[in-house]
Amino acid sequence: MLSIGLGRVATGRPAVSAAQDRAIFDRLFEEYSSPIHNYVLRMVGDADRAADITQDTFIKAYRKLDTLTDETSARAWLYRIATNTAIDEMRRRRWVSPMGSDEERHHERPDERPGPEAQVIGGMLDERIQRALMQLRPNHRQCLILSDLEDMSAQQIGEVMGLSYGAVRTLLCRARGEMRRQLTVEGLVR
Amino acid sequence: MSFLRPGDHPDELLSDSLTGDLTDVERAQLDAHLAMCPACRDTLAAFAEQRRLVSGMRHVPPPRDLGPRVRAGIDSRRFLGPPWWRRPRALVGIGASLASVAAGVLAFVVFSNLRFSQVAESGSPQATSTASSEATASLDASPAPTASAAPPVAADPNPVGALVYTVEMPEARLELVTAQGAEPIPVESHGTPVDATLSPDGDWVAFSLFGEGSGLVDSYAYRISDGTLVPLTQQGLDSPFLRFVWSPDGRVLAYTALAQDASADVWLFYPGAETTRQLTQSGTAFAGSFDGSDESSARLWVSVAAESNASSYRLTVPLTAGDWVPYDDPSTDADQTSDGAFLPMLNPTIPASQAAVWRGEMARDEMGWHFARGGMLYMVPAVDGTFDLGGGGEQVFSSLTIQQNGAAFASARFEWAPDGDGFAVWDTQWTGTEEGTGFPDPQRVYFGHVGDGTGELITAAQALDAADTAGATEVVDVALGGGQYLALTLRTDASQGNEFAPVANLVLITRHTGATPDEVMAYGQDGVWNGPALYPATLEPAP
């Protein structure tokens, strides 16, 4: 007899014990908490928000472990949860403080660019790249980060974003074009 | 891009060249183009430089207390910082629902105090007067009609409720809107509601959300009287063959979980126990329809998709939750088998008098199952209480023929009206040559009646007026109210590219045939996602 636990959700994954769930989760946290945090940080551009989103991502992941059918697909699965969590958070934030957001202020102060000598300082360079990233539409920013920072293929990005291979290629191209314009504003590319 | 013309600048190939996503042919095309195009050489250099810059960004480790925070969140079974959709607003809604339980009555009247306004008649660009929608139907928690009850005959133009998804300051929320007001539904995963079905006793809504970011589907059952929310599926694929199917007495809901690897299995939800049970584990099974019930069990048609012909099996399922071994092969315990039939959709009269059913050769790809050859929808009448699902009946689309190469329907969506006579077909994916001026059209809704006496079910003449869906980018859902009434959920691009705030209009159609244009009423919340609508699963007999 197969006993299905109260409230289990229909997925293709066989039922496992809570201890097994915890062991799987611990492995995932060990391997992915740092890259997921870094990815989220580049998505939202704020350390405190990134920590909160990463925290929520892993709590959700634990609660949805029964939707993970295969540990080999864990990376895309976790990035997908992180992405949805970050988008939810950004959506809320967008409506809470659209006028006073950091993004808006950055957009209005292109003249505050540091001089050429500052570009050699890694932190300042990061800040300017991040500023350019934050000017992108969220889905452009997401696929660009997944490609260039996380080094995912178009196929892998499609798994995270729920898009076809062709759609990712098109989106990535548009994102690169937009990022080029923003980096030009920052004086980092021609 | 298959070729480059003079003057083209292949930005997409330039972008793909950075990640190795080019075929040999594309690489050769790009190299040849770069040799003669300084602008593209500049673009490639800029793209490469920005990739170098982004990839070289400093890796920032997470805070040291992240692990303890996550563990604390898991152990407490809630988020440390409550997610915004669970804050007091939702609790107030549930409290209000509990109050209604205390009153001992669940009776929500039709949309009489909701803002339906008549926006236009077909063929008329001008708005007309506001319509009055008086309450004429009610739901209560009494058992559904038994087999001896008179068939439902009354129809009402107004749905009894609708889901509404709103993204506005400061949050996004999903609500069930009825004449009694709006009840927030505290779902964990947000997305646009794309399907919703009311239980026969009117107390439960089964619904699906389509993740705007993920493209995956979550589904839930929600008890209106006290706000109980039970997850049914998470992160599944969408398919036109997914249905919420209530047993005639509402004691069990059958549904299909379509996993991301396209494996499909039938599950059951028991409202009385607020729990789910897996019925099949073949990876190819879809929930069709219930076909009668008695005190302790109901008969459920389960279809098994196959690369060649599908088959359908009628199984007996208990009306109370228990433990059992899910079927690897549903045929083992079937009391009826129909080879070649897929997804029997029986009309909701008691007993059922008609069944729509698919036949054809199926195929499976990464998005699930569809018909690869000869896919056609048939309407099969009951003869002596049984259906010849594998061979009887007539084509729903009377004038279309399966073409010599097998081209026909890949899929379509189908819905019965609660009167058991009307039905709608939409999202028609016809792979053959279109008839006349675009028939069938995937953007149109086809509305037919079994008993209209014409001898034909669906032809081009049964399409709703084009003006009914004007401005829509997608017909998301069709709900039918019986008689000549439909409620359409129509996605629009009114969000103007704002991906955070998808928009759908809920329009109420009163269908007219011939030269008389349909009447079109719109639910008046602009800029939000309105729908799907809810009609009673059965209609009250006429007084």
Provide the Cα torsion B106, B112, B118, B121; round to 10°: 60
C-alpha distance from A104 to closest chain B C-alpha (Å): 17
pLDDT-derived band at B133 (thresholds 50, 70, 90) equals: very low
**Minimum mean pLDDT among A149-163, B238-252, B304-318: which range?**
A149-163
Question: Under an 8 A CB cutoff, do A59 and B267 touch?
Answer: no
Whether residue A149 contacts residue A39, with contact meaning beta carbons closer than 8 Å, is answered with yes
CA distance A95 to A98: 6
- B160 CA to centre of own chain: 18
Instruction: Say yes or no for a CB contact (<8 Å) between B326 and A2.
Output: yes
- Give pLDDT tens digits for A14-58: 445 667 778 888 889 999 999 999 999 999 888 888 999 999 899
Mean pLDDT of B507-524: 83
Q: Report the residue of B60, B166, B220, B277 to disrupt the A interface, i.e. the one with the largest count of A CBs within 10 Å.
A: B60
Is residue A140 within 8 A of residue A149, CB to CB? The reply is no
Q: At what angle do helices B38-55 and B24-36 cross, to 10 degrees?
A: 120
Q: Tell me, yes or no, whether B42 lies in a domain.
A: yes
**Which of A92, A136, A149 to mutate to test binding with chain B, by most B CBs within 10 Å of its CB?**
A92
Chain segment A92-133, per-residue pLDDT in tens: 554 333 222 333 333 333 333 344 444 344 568 888 899 999
Query: Does residue B50 lie in a domain region?
Result: yes
- Confidence band, pLDDT 50/70/90 cuts, at residue B151: very low
The Cα-based distances of B48 to A123, B14, B40 in angstroms read 21, 9, 12
- Give residue B76's pLDDT band: very low, low, confident or very high (50, 70, 90): low
| Residue B158 located in a structural domain | no
Query: Across the interface, do A12 and B232 touch by the CB < 8 Å criterion?
Result: no
Looking at the 3D structure of chain B, how many domains does it have?
A: 1
Q: How far is A109 from chain B (nearest CA, A)?
A: 21
* Predicted confidence (pLDDT) at residue B114 exceeds the cutoff of 50: no
Query: Would you say residue B537 has pLDDT above 70?
Result: yes
Q: What is the pLDDT of residue B276?
A: 93
Reduced to 3 states (helix: H, G, I; strand: E, B; else coil), residue B376 is strand
**Residue B385: other Cβ atoms inside 10 A:** 10
pLDDT single digits (tens) A132-182: 999 888 888 999 999 999 999 988 898 888 788 888 888 899 899 999 999
Q: Which of A22-36, B76-90, B207-221, B467-481 is least confident?
A: B76-90
Q: What is the pLDDT of residue A17?
A: 64
Domain assignment present for B29: yes
Work out the average pLDDT over B226-238: 91
**What tokens were used for A137?**
């539409």
Comparing A190 with B429, which gets the higher pLDDT?
Answer: B429
Asked whether residue B504 is assigned to any structural domain, the reply reads: no
Q: How confident is the model at residue B381 (pLDDT cuts 50, 70, 90)?
A: very high
Q: What is the pLDDT of residues B268-298, one digit of tens each?
A: 999 999 999 999 999 999 999 999 888 889 9
Residue B282 inside a domain? The answer is no
Quick one: pLDDT band at residue B438, thresholds 50, 70, 90? Answer: confident
Nearest Cβ partner of A139 from B11, B189, B499?
A: B499
ipTM over 0.85? The verdict is no
Q: Is residue B456 part of a domain?
A: no
**In-domain check, residue B455:** no
Range of the domain at B29: 11-55
The verdict on pTM exceeding 0.80 is no
